Structure 1
Amino acid sequence: MEQLADGLLRERRSERRWRIFFRIVWVAVVLAGLWALFVQRVQHAAPTGPHTALVEVRGEIAAEAEASAENINAALKSAFEDANAQAVVLRINSPGGSPVQAGIVYDEIRRLKARHGKKVYAVVEEVCASGAYYIAVAADEVYVDKASIVGSIGVLMDGFGFTGTMEKLGVERRLITAGENKGMLDPFSPLSERQRAYAQAMIDQIHQQFIAVVKEGRGARLKETPETFSGLFWNGEESIRLGLADHTGTLDFVAREVVKAEEVIDYTPKENVAERLVKRFGASIGEGAAKALRTIGPLR
């Protein structure tokens, strides 16, 4: 009985220590999060003089990516609404991505330009292809490096088909659907010619939307050839000759020589150090809590 009582007492003390520990940790996490938000607000509220507003379009354009329409449009809105921002520069280094996300950004740029009357310039670094070029044509002018990759005005839908491999291995695909096309594009089922034609018609329609946007954005500057909308891409020097871009130039050149506001302020939303620490700390604490619960039993 004495040993049992001693064991129960040690268990209660252990549980109490864990409760105190987790409370302290979560208070620290909450405080760090509040501090991160406060620092971010102070940074955005800091007064600035006349400057060039920078918005980055970097990496894949996708809903959950850094270059999502939500992030880019939030930065654009802040940049346009700042009275000291003389113009907005989109610095692009992206192979493209979702046509939906790119279209949302394109429409927002056009709306903000019409509302605020500010110029928008696109500055291409290494790559401005596909969905990234979709965004770039909303700018008043496109600046490139002579070796930048520009273009790829096309749409693709890719995947794999394993039906032949399954037959060789003696594997049967058991797919039950309600609706004859519900399993369309399933990689383990054959693709009928009717389904292939449907998918082709769909991406052709999206391609025509892309073409219309490029023609609207570039206007008479575009020197259309049979290859312009074929999905090909060109270096920066050739893209200027084809009317896909306007001039060579860097961010600093555009800010200094075109906008005439040499100071560049970046409006792109970024996680600060505190936010990254909160996320990592929270993840590690969660893992530690799970291990603790497995070892000491339920907390009371």
Structure 2
Amino acid sequence: MTPGQNIYAMQAHAVRDFVAQTNGSCNMRALAECAPLMGPVAGDLMGYLSDGEACESLYVVQNGVAVVPVMGALVDRCRWIGSDWTTGYNVLKLQLEAAFADAQVEGIVLRISSGGGMASGLFDFVDWALQAKAEAGKPVVAICDEEAYSAAYAIALIGDSISLPQTGGVGSIGAFSMHWEYSQWLEKEGDTVTIIRSGTRKADSNSYEPLPDAARADFQASVDALRLMFAQRVSDARGIDINIVLGTEGRAYFGPTAAKEAVALGLADAIISPDDALSYFAAVVAEQRSAA
């Protein structure tokens, strides 16, 4: 598969990296106890998944709250767990599956700081996670630290609530594909690449010939279908009319003014710092524990 055939649902700055309001009061004790969970996780979780996909530590748990990091470029499969640079949907599934079954875990935080990632495997993972959450009956919140765009926002939909800081961002509900074509540059350099094909459309999205109209139409149909799939899941998870979701036209809502717009649209629930959001959630989990 050539680079042009990869379909990404990610922000432009994440592509570059990959290719090259809650009104409840803050429980300060819970904040002091749980704030370290929002700090760097690599030292606690960094590990390599073996063929059996076993890792000594899948998440950090404190006071009944498990924090699952969703960081960097998002990909279908990745061997590393706890990386700040990339996260695999396979790793997230492994972590959530364990956390849902873990008797010590009473609530789960998705700590998200990502501009997005690959569409491949994304929606199957999100659909699985929503079903697994319903079966487990454990609360899950998505805390943006700072951003959850595109594929990362799709993962945020797993949460019962989504929060973002005042300088953070959410959205970019859409998909795009990029095709690199070097034929004019090669001609200028005096190089010729000849594609010998069997099948008129074999390699029709290669980088050495202009993109054929039929291949371009296929790409467009793919990203249009992905956008509709994405918008439907946002509509279902957030209770927003799908036409309103599509009306965002893939916009990324970032910064103080746009963050308020995102909350008003229903794309997020609160503008609150990550530490305060975790503290509030920890207090809710503790309250539920006491009431049980």
Specify whether residues 219 and 226 from structure 1 end up closer, same or farther in structure 2 by C-alpha distance, changes over 3 A only: closer
Distance 2:197 2:243 in 1: 48
Specify whether residues 208 and 221 from structure 1 end up closer, same or farther in structure 2 by C-alpha distance, changes over 3 A only: closer
Counterpart secondary structure, 1:95: strand
Specify whether residues 222 and 253 from structure 1 end up closer, same or farther in structure 2 by C-alpha distance, changes over 3 A only: farther
Between Structure 1 and Structure 2, the one with more helix by share is: 1
CA contact 1:145–1:237 (8 Å) conserved in 2: no
Report matched runs for 1:65-76 at 5 Å: 66-76=86-96
| TM-aligned CA deviation for residue 258 of structure 1 | 3.3
Distance 1:104 1:56 in 2: 19
Q: Deviations over 1:106-157 (max 9, x none)?
A: 1232122121111111000122111000111121110110110211111111
| Residue in 2 that maps onto 1:56 | 69
Question: Amino acid of the residue matched to residue 113 of structure 2?
Answer: N
More displaced 10-residue stretch of structure 1: 101-110 or 149-158: 101-110
Matching residue within 117, 128, 149 for 1:129: 149
Specify whether residues 96 and 237 from structure 1 end up closer, same or farther in structure 2 by C-alpha distance, changes over 3 A only: same
Question: Amino acid of the residue matched to residue 231 of structure 1?
Answer: G
CA contact 1:147–1:237 (8 Å) conserved in 2: no
CA contact 1:222–1:243 (8 Å) conserved in 2: no
**Matched pairs, number:** 222
Specify whether residues 132 and 225 from structure 1 end up closer, same or farther in structure 2 by C-alpha distance, changes over 3 A only: closer
Report matched runs for 1:81-160 at 5 Å: 81-160=101-180
Q: Deviations over 1:11-32 (max 9, x none)?
A: xxxxxxxxxxxxxxxxxxxxxx
| Residue in 2 that maps onto 1:208 | 228
Identity, in percent, stands at 28
Q: Which runs of 5+ in 2 are unaligned?
A: 1-47, 49-54, 81-85, 287-292
Matching residue within 160, 167, 187 for 1:167: 187
Distance 1:250 1:79 in 2: 24
Distance 2:62 2:144 in 1: 26
Specify whether residues 83 and 100 from structure 1 end up closer, same or farther in structure 2 by C-alpha distance, changes over 3 A only: same
Specify whether residues 54 and 147 from structure 1 end up closer, same or farther in structure 2 by C-alpha distance, changes over 3 A only: same
Counterpart secondary structure, 1:123: strand
TM-score after normalising by structure 1: 0.66
Distance 2:158 2:181 in 1: 38
Q: Deviations over 1:165-206 (max 9, x none)?
A: 333344322111111111121111122222211221122111
Question: Amino acid of the residue matched to residue 217 of structure 1?
Answer: A
CA contact 2:231–2:245 (8 Å) conserved in 1: no
| Residue in 1 that maps onto 2:260 | 237
Distance 1:107 1:82 in 2: 21
Distance 1:199 1:85 in 2: 42
Counterpart secondary structure, 2:147: strand
TM-score after normalising by structure 2: 0.68
Question: Amino acid of the residue matched to residue 258 of structure 1?
Answer: F
Q: Which runs of 5+ in 1 are unaligned?
A: 1-32, 34-39, 264-300
CA contact 1:150–1:233 (8 Å) conserved in 2: yes
CA RMSD of aligned residues (A): 2.8
More displaced 10-residue stretch of structure 1: 77-86 or 205-214: 77-86
| Residue in 2 that maps onto 1:254 | 277
Question: Amino acid of the residue matched to residue 194 of structure 2?
Answer: R
Between Structure 1 and Structure 2, the one with more strand by share is: 2
Q: Rg: which structure is higher?
A: 1
Distance 1:253 1:222 in 2: 31
Specify whether residues 243 and 223 from structure 1 end up closer, same or farther in structure 2 by C-alpha distance, changes over 3 A only: farther
Counterpart secondary structure, 1:244: coil
CA contact 1:80–1:116 (8 Å) conserved in 2: yes
